[in-house]
Amino acid sequence: MDERWAQKKAGWAKRFEGSKHRELVRFIASIAMIFMLVFALGILFEALRDGVIIGRRGGYYSRDAEPGAFWAAFVLLSMASLVCLCGSAYGVWRSLVKLLKDKAHQHAGQEANNPVIGRTAESLIIAVDGPAASGKGTIAQRLARHYGLPHLDTGLLYRAVGLGVLDRGGDLGDAALAEQVARALQPSDLTDTARLTDRGAGEAASRVAGHPGVRAALLDLQTRFARQPGGAVLDGRDIGTVIAPDSSAKLFVTATPEVRARRRWLQLTARGEAIAFDDMLADILKRDARDAGRGAAPMVQAADAALLDTTDMDIEAAFDAARRIVETSRAR
């Protein structure tokens, strides 16, 4: 008998252990309490009209017999009933809000776990273009994290191609070899971020990016990444003009050559690479000229891209400005 009773208690506890059940019971109880209190107040007002209120030993408080005691009892009971009524109303409101929040969180969790549910309603493609060391990569990463989208640094693709040519002992000006490397490129080739982000890789990327065959070979990969369900964030040199010209939001991130050279110089020297600032500035200017002057997909600001100058901004200010640009584009 005791064992069966314990099993029943355990079953009831399990049934109501979730917050959803607790809040539902609290909601129903609060509604019932409100009806009971309204009924009690109705009795009090009825008693006021008839001149009789609650009983006491030996008789009743009445308006005629003991008016002072009558009014004291009526006021106290009315105040107590109103306090209970307000408390019950608050309980209803609190339980209803909690139930709605639980439902919303459950729905959000389903969307997060199912990319088809969560992303088919709106496809958000964000194109972030700009010259080297302008901050576009960091901004793109922050935007991707903010909107829950996948991110692709397309510059790493060209860096990987450039390093692939050098690893084969080839010349960066060999268009045929560079195209062959680009067509064989796999996502696993982008894992060595330390090597892909050093100064030599950046120079190699700028060289091979000028070959039309390389850009054509990498075009399909980048386009498919941008077109995936829900959208994506891509940063590079020609995202808004070639890769995803119909992007939901386009940004062209830039800064003065001196500021960009200082950012890259600080980044490289922090890794232990020895380079003079003047050499870094000359390298930045040379890459700008090469990227803007190449015949295949030159680096230019798209006509409908918003210009974001990060010269006098830290990363937080730059990200906030970029986020506002995206939100403005989405609202159109």
Q: What is the CATH number of the domain that holds 283?
A: 3.40.50.300
Number of H helices, E strands in the chain: 13, 7
For residues 264 and 19, the model is more confident at: 264
For residues 190 and 128, the model is more confident at: 128
For residues 290 and 170, the model is more confident at: 170
Rounded CA-CA distance 111/124 in Å is 16
Give the pLDDT confidence score for residue 110 in this predicted structure: 44
Give the pLDDT confidence score for residue 42 in this predicted structure: 66
- Are residues 190 and 98 located together in one domain of the fold? no
Residue after which a domain boundary falls, among 79, 113, 147: 113
For residues 123 and 115, the model is more confident at: 123
DSSP state of 146: H
Asked whether residue 9 is domain-assigned, the answer is no
Give the pLDDT confidence score for residue 6 in this predicted structure: 54
Pick the range with the lowest mean pLDDT from 12-26, 66-80, 125-139, 299-313.
12-26
**In the predicted structure, residue 118 carries a pLDDT above the cut 60:** no
- Are residues 133 and 252 located together in one domain of the fold? yes
Identity of the highest mean pLDDT range in 108-117, 150-159, 294-303: 150-159
- Are residues 200 and 272 located together in one domain of the fold? yes
pLDDT band at 271 (very low <50, low <70, confident <90, very high): confident
User: Cα–Cα distances in Å, from 60 out to 53, 57, 63, 70?
Assistant: 7, 8, 10, 9
Residue bearing tokens 């099993």: 7
Query: Helix crossing, 175-183 with 154-167: angle to 10°?
Result: 120
Rounded CA-CA distance 34/84 in Å is 8
Residue bearing tokens 């060391």: 133
- Are residues 275 and 313 located together in one domain of the fold? yes
Rounded CA-CA distance 43/242 in Å is 78
Asked whether residue 137 is domain-assigned, the answer is yes
Give the pLDDT confidence score for residue 27 in this predicted structure: 62
- Are residues 235 and 318 located together in one domain of the fold? yes
Q: What's the mean pLDDT when you consider all of the chain?
A: 79
- Are residues 324 and 208 located together in one domain of the fold? yes
- Are residues 109 and 169 located together in one domain of the fold? no
Asked whether residue 229 is domain-assigned, the answer is yes
Q: Structure pTM?
A: 0.60
Q: What is the pLDDT of residues 24-46, one digit of tens each?
A: 666 676 666 666 666 666 666 66
Contact, 53 vs 61, CB < 8 A? yes
Residue after which a domain boundary falls, among 88, 113, 138: 113
For residues 325 and 95, the model is more confident at: 325
Residue bearing tokens 């950012």: 263
- Are residues 93 and 41 located together in one domain of the fold? yes
- Are residues 248 and 294 located together in one domain of the fold? yes
- Are residues 40 and 187 located together in one domain of the fold? no
Give the pairing of strands 231-236 and 124-129. parallel
- Segment 92-109 shows an average pLDDT of 58
**270 CB-contact burial (10 Å; exposed 0-12 / middle 13-18 / buried 19+):** exposed
Q: What is the pLDDT of residues 49-85, one digit of tens each?
A: 555 544 444 444 444 545 555 556 556 666 666 666 6
- Are residues 164 and 27 located together in one domain of the fold? no
Residue 143: closest CA among 312, 332, 330, 297? 330
What range defines the domain where residue 60 resides?
Answer: 14-113
**In the predicted structure, residue 170 carries a pLDDT above the cut 80:** yes
Residue after which a domain boundary falls, among 78, 113, 148: 113
State how many domains the chain has.
2
Q: What is the pLDDT of residues 190-242, one digit of tens each?
A: 888 888 988 788 889 889 988 999 989 999 889 999 999 999 999 999 999 99
Give the pLDDT confidence score for residue 26 in this predicted structure: 62
Q: Give the whole-number percent of the chain exceeding pLDDT 90.
A: 46
Contact, 179 vs 212, CB < 8 A? no
- Are residues 184 and 321 located together in one domain of the fold? yes
